[in-house]
Amino acid sequence: MTAPVLVIGEALVDIVSGGPANGGGSAHGRNGKNGSKATPGGSPANVAVGLARLGLPTELVTRFGTDPYGDQLGAHLFGNGVQLTPGSVDPSFRTSTATAKLDAAGVASYEFDITWDPPALSLRRGCPAVHTGSIATVLEPGAEAIGRFLSSLASEPVTVTLDPNARPTITPDRVSTWGAVRELAATADLVKLSDEDCEFLRPGLSPDEIAAELLSVDRTKCVVITRGGEGAIGVSRAARVEVAAPAIEVVDTVGAGDSFMSALIAGLQSRDLLGAVRLEGLNEESLRDVVDYAVKAAAITCTRHGADPPTAAEHKAAWG
């Protein structure tokens, strides 16, 4: 693979406070007031970093400023080998933030100060996959631009992946949000949800019922639902797998779902399932392998402070 995976969405700074071991942090964080720590984040940006750390060329379409938070983001992204499309760094733009409050178990809840207005979207020749999700897919004016772009890829030889990553504080109306997710999911080959997404978007339905809804359209071929410490479920047209999560000591869960998503894409690429094939050939064995790889990547992230996805070497060293 020579052309990079294209990731579209927000890059922001997570301001993290609380948790079972507050005061530590990863090397890319900055200490703040009251024991808080500012670390680069944003779900799509985290996915881009995770992909690059796993060895995939990666390009991110985003928007942040040249203020101190923006400088921190830029150093983090460039330092991890993520390419930025023209217009992603804008001196007139104020870098967005998310305040993450950790409970005693290290589970994060978020409040956002964000503006989302991306630069022009285009597809590079040979791009094997396009990924998007989270706030970028629901916050205007960028959400409409993403919707148009994904719709334009219907005949392109590229795999589209989506992680809605529902944020009730931004989109509290679950009915309209699920409608928007369904519309965007219909343009994606793979959709990843968390159990929290499912509980908010489709309360009362089982993961398999939700997967069946999303697989009812022609394009979508796989749905993966993460279940925190219980692992994940993968459902395709041909198979259903359940993968358990390894036992770990959780520091916090910030960025775990994004690490899972990047490892899922990387696992599919390693099996030549991206690009023009659009997941054709995703059998039970391959589905189990890629979900297991992703679960273990997320587990590593949960043992560290902040959104700190593993490299390919770290993943191999931990799990073989």
DSSP state string for 227-238: -GGG-EEEEESS
**Residue of 269, 263, 259 lying closest to 309 (CA atoms):** 259
pLDDT at 2: 78
Question: Please, are residues 12 and 63 in contact by the beta-carbon 8 Å criterion?
Answer: no
**Residue of 136, 4, 113, 127 lying closest to 60 (CA atoms):** 4
- Those residues whose C-beta lies under 8 Å from the C-beta of residue 289, and which sit 6 or more positions away, are 267, 271
Which residue positions in the chain have pLDDT lower than 50?
21-27, 32-33
Question: Please, are residues 10 and 44 in contact by the beta-carbon 8 Å criterion?
Answer: yes
Give the pLDDT confidence of 252-304 residue by residue, as tens digits: 888 999 999 999 999 999 999 999 999 999 999 999 999 999 999 999 999 99
Determine the 3-state secondary structure of 240 from DSSP: strand
Give the pLDDT confidence of 226-262 residue by residue, as tens digits: 999 999 999 999 999 999 999 999 998 889 999 999 9
Handedness of CA 74, 77, 78, 82 (dihedral sign): negative
16 falls within a domain:
no
Residue 178 sits at the vertex; the CA angle it makes with 146 and 299, to the nearest 5 degrees, is 80
Question: Please, are residues 56 and 1 in contact by the beta-carbon 8 Å criterion?
Answer: yes
191 falls within a domain:
yes
pLDDT at 233: 98
pLDDT at 27: 39
List, as one string, the DSSP characters of 102-156.
E-TT--EEEEEE-----------TT--EEEEEGGGGTSTTHHHHHHHHHHTTTTS
Per-residue DSSP letter, 285: H
110 falls within a domain:
no
DSSP element (H, E) containing 243: strand 240-243
61 falls within a domain:
yes
The tokens describing 166, both together, are: 């529902």
The tokens describing 143, both together, are: 């959400």
Phi then psi for residue 289, to 5 deg, are -65, -45
Peptide bond into 141 cis (omega under 30): yes
309 falls within a domain:
yes
What is the rounded (10 degree) CA torsion for 26, 30, 31, 33?
-130
Q: Which domain holds residue 138?
A: 43-93+117-319
pLDDT at 1: 54
**Residue of 163, 175, 114, 172 lying closest to 142 (CA atoms):** 114
Number of domains in the chain: 1
pLDDT at 23: 42
pTM for the whole thing?
Answer: 0.92
C-alpha to C-alpha distance for 108 and 256, rounded to whole angstroms: 11
313 falls within a domain:
yes
Measured distance between the N- and C-terminal CA atoms of the chain, rounded to whole angstroms = 24
6 falls within a domain:
no
The tokens describing 86, both together, are: 């023209």
8 falls within a domain:
no
pLDDT at 99: 87
HSE at residue 111, side-chain half, CA atoms within 13 A, is: 5
CATH of the domain at 167: 3.40.1190.20
pLDDT at 307: 87
